[in-house]
Amino acid sequence: MKAIPYGRQSIEKTDIDAVIETLQADFLTQGPKVKEFEEKFASYVGSKYAVAVSNATAGLHISVLALGLEPGDRVITTPITFAASANCIRYGGGEVWFADIDPNTYLLSIEHTKRLIESKPKGFFKGIIPVDFGGLPVNLQEFRDLANEHDLWVIEDACHAPGGYFVDSQNIKQNCGNGNFADVGIFSFHPVKHIACGEGGMITTNNKKIYDKLLSLRTHGITKENMSENHGGWFYEMKELGFNYRLTDIQSALGITQLAKNNVGVIRRNEIATKYKNAFEGKVKYQSLPPNTYNAHHLFVIEVNNRKGLYDYLRNENIYAQIHYIPVHTLPYYREIGYQDVDLSNAENYYAHCISLPMYPTLSDEEQVFVIEKVLSFIE
Ligand SMILES: *Cc1c(COP(=O)(O)O)cnc(C)c1O
C-alpha cells in the first residue's frame, strides 16, 4: 500500500489546461481571471462580494483592519484552530482572548464565549472569530445574536468549510461564508484545503463599505477614484497604508476549475465520513454533528486514549494521520504573552486525544478500508 496522507489536493487535466491557457494569455495577474473567480465564488457561497487574496492569513489580516481593529482591542477566538485565526489579531496590535470549545463538536462554545464576555465590563471586547473547525459550520445565528448584544463584529474563519451549511431558526439554509450573520468570511486555497491554488484565499462579505476597504488594503491602499479629466492616465492616490496581498490570474484560473468540482468533492468527503462513522460507532468517539448542519469535512477527527501510540502505529503502516491542532494558547508565543488566566480544559483534553484520519475526495475505498482496519485493530 502506498503512503496515505491525511489530506491531498486533486488536480486533473481541466485544472492543468486552465492554468496553461492563462500562462499564454495577456494577464498573469490583475486580469480577468481574478474577477471571474471572485464572482463565481461569491455566487457559490451566496455572498454579495468576494475579494481574492494571496492566502487566508492575508485575508484575516486585512479583514481585522477593515473592521477597525486598533492596538489594544480585545478579540475572542477558539484555541482549537490554526494559529493564523489568532495571529491576525496580533498583526493589528490587538489582544487575543480564548474561549473554550464544546467537547463534542470541537467548535468554539457559545456558552463559554458568552461567559467570557459577561465576566468583563461592557465594551471590553471588540470582536469574535469563530472557526468552522474540521468543516463543521458554526451556528453563526447564535454568535450574531450574542455579538449584537455586546456590539461586536464577527469574522467567520471558514477555511475548512466551503460547501458546508447550517439551517437557521427560520428554516433557511445558510452557506458558510454567505455573510448573512458574520461581517466577513475567510477561505483558504492551500492544497490541504478543499480548493487548491498552491497558495490563495478569499474574503466574502455583504457589506459594501467593508468590501471597498478590503479592495484598497489588498493593493497598497492605492485608488484611482478621484481621477478627473484634468488628470493624466497615470494618476493615482495612495490614501492609506495597504499591502500587496493579491492573488494572480494563474492561481485564479486554477481556483475556478477547482471551485467547479467542490460540490462533488464535498459529497465524496461525506461518503467517506459515513463509512468511518459506521465502522467506529460505539467504539471510537468522533466529531459529533449537530442537527440541521452539513459538515464540509475538511477533516475527520477521532479521539482515542493512546493517541501517540495510534499515531506511531499508523505511521508504521504508511498512514500519515495528523493532529489538529496544538491549542493556540499553549504555543510558546502565546504562552509568553500570557495575559489570560482562563480555564480551557475542554480544548486541552481534546488535544490530548485527537487525531485526524485520511479525508480527501480521491481516497479510495480500498485505502479507507485499510485505514479503518488498522485503527480498529489498534484500539482492540
Ligand atoms: C489554513 C488555515 C488558515 C490559513 O490559511 P492560509 O491560506 O494558509 O494562510 C487560517 N485558518 C484556518 C482555520 C486554517 O485552516
Ligand 1 centroid–CA 131 distance in Å is 10
Ligand 1 centroid–CA 286 distance in Å is 22
Q: Give the tens place of pLDDT for each residue, 125-180.
A: 999 999 999 999 999 999 999 999 999 999 999 999 999 999 999 999 999 999 99
Name the residue with the closest Cα to ligand 1, atom 5: 56
Ligand 1 centroid–CA 82 distance in Å is 6
Ligand 1 centroid–CA 323 distance in Å is 15
**Burial per residue of 174-189, b for 16 or more beta-carbon CB atoms within 10 angstroms, e otherwise:** bbbbbbbbbbbbbbbb
Residue of 328, 314, 10 whose CA lies nearest to 191: 10
pLDDT at position 317 is: 97
Question: What region, left, alpha or beta, does residue 361 occupy, with left being phi > 0 and alpha being psi -120 to 50 degrees?
Answer: alpha
Separation CA 46–CA 43 (nearest Å):
5
In the 8-state DSSP scheme, what is residue 330?
Answer: G
Pocket test for ligand 1, best of 51, 60, 85 (most atoms within 8 A of CB): 85
pLDDT at position 340 is: 76
Residue 77 burial (C-beta neighbours within 10 Å; 0-12, 13-18, 19+): buried
Ligand 1 centroid–CA 188 distance in Å is 5
The pLDDT profile of the chain, 380 residues, written as one tens digit per residue, is 789 999 999 999 999 999 999 999 999 999 999 999 999 999 999 999 999 999 999 999 999 999 999 999 999 999 999 999 999 999 999 999 999 999 999 999 999 999 999 999 999 999 999 999 999 999 999 999 999 999 999 999 999 999 999 999 999 999 999 999 999 999 999 999 999 999 999 999 999 999 999 999 999 999 998 999 999 999 999 999 999 999 999 999 999 999 999 999 999 999 999 999 999 999 999 999 999 999 999 999 999 999 999 999 999 999 999 999 999 999 999 999 877 777 899 999 999 999 999 999 999 999 999 999 999 999 98
> Could you identify the atom of ligand 1 that is nearest to the CA of residue 59?
9
> Could you identify the atom of ligand 1 that is nearest to the CA of residue 60?
10
pLDDT at position 338 is: 78
> Could you identify the atom of ligand 1 that is nearest to the CA of residue 85?
11
Q: Give the tens place of pLDDT for each residue, 198-217.
A: 999 999 999 999 999 999 99
> Could you identify the atom of ligand 1 that is nearest to the CA of residue 58?
9
Separation CA 164–CA 282 (nearest Å):
26
Pocket test for ligand 1, best of 190, 203, 301, 322 (most atoms within 8 A of CB): 190
CB 255, CB 197: distance < 8 Å: yes
pLDDT at position 279 is: 98
Ligand 1 centroid–CA 64 distance in Å is 15
> Could you identify the atom of ligand 1 that is nearest to the CA of residue 131?
13
Residue ranges around ligand 1 (CB below 6 Å): 55-57, 81-82, 84-85, 131, 157, 159-160, 188, 190, 201
**Grid cell listed for 218:** 489588498
Name the residue with the closest Cα to ligand 1, atom 10: 84
Calculate the alpha carbon distances from 296 to 95, 117, 210, 264, 266 in Å: 30, 29, 27, 11, 6
Pocket test for ligand 1, best of 53, 54, 57 (most atoms within 8 A of CB): 57
Looking at every residue in the chain, the average pLDDT score rounds to 97
Residue of 97, 101, 107, 92 whose CA lies nearest to 75: 97
pLDDT at position 122 is: 94
| Domain architecture of the chain: domains with CATH | 4-261 (3.40.640.10), 263-379 (3.90.1150.10)
First to last CA, the chain: 22
